[in-house]
Amino acid sequence: MTRYAAFLRGVNLGRRTTKSADLVAAFAELGFPGARTLIASGNVLFDADDEAELAKRIEAGLAEKFGFEIGAVLRRLDALHAMVAAEPFKAVPADADAKLYVALLREPVGRSIPLPCGIPGDFDILAATDTDIFAIAWHMPNGRYGEGLDTLGKRLPKGTLVTMRNWNTILKAVG
């Protein structure tokens, strides 16, 4: 068995709500032992045998359980450990008035983002791998952080499944 993290897209938005306990139960019903949610219900750690269509199997099971589509971007826990070890944010000063994010992609199209990339004073893309894009969202005069990051998906090929997570979520997953 391999330990995975499922980063779910499209949960807890409007009427599309799921409770953590219900997600854990859904993963158990799908045959994934050791499931637990992390930080919010859109992040699930679980154990599974490696299989080619694992994300699609999870999406189908969640759609049947909750009655709406939920995209799933999966990462093996060892891949998350490698991501953290690579220190993608090491150039960001510890006192930066910013938040750090990772866009997790299902399809390997992350390198299609031209670097450097961003909106000055809003956000910067620091690095990209095939399946992950690392961004810094700057504190803006209106009090928000990196509003322009919402447009990142428009910079990717049409139909790319992408979900954004705060870097702290990744750190908790590997902790």
pLDDT of residue 44: 96
Share of the chain above pLDDT 90, in %: 81
Supply the pLDDT for residue 10. 81
pTM: predicted TM-score of the whole model, two decimal places? 0.93
Residue 122 CB neighbours (<10 A): 16
Q: What tokens were used for 11?
A: 């949960």
pLDDT at residue number 85: 97
Say how far apart CA 110 and CA 51 lie, in whole Å: 23
What mean pLDDT, rounded, does the chain reach? 93
Q: Where are the domains of the chain?
A: 2-79, 86-174
Residue owning tokens 């220190």:
87
Residue with tokens 């956000």: 123
Query: Bridge partners of 21?
Result: none
Residue 107 banded pLDDT, cuts 50, 70, 90 = very high
CATH fold label, 2-79: Alpha-Beta Plaits (3.30.70)
Read off the pLDDT of residues 4-60 as tens digits, 9 standing for 90 and up: 999 999 887 777 888 899 999 999 999 998 899 998 779 999 999 888 899 999 999
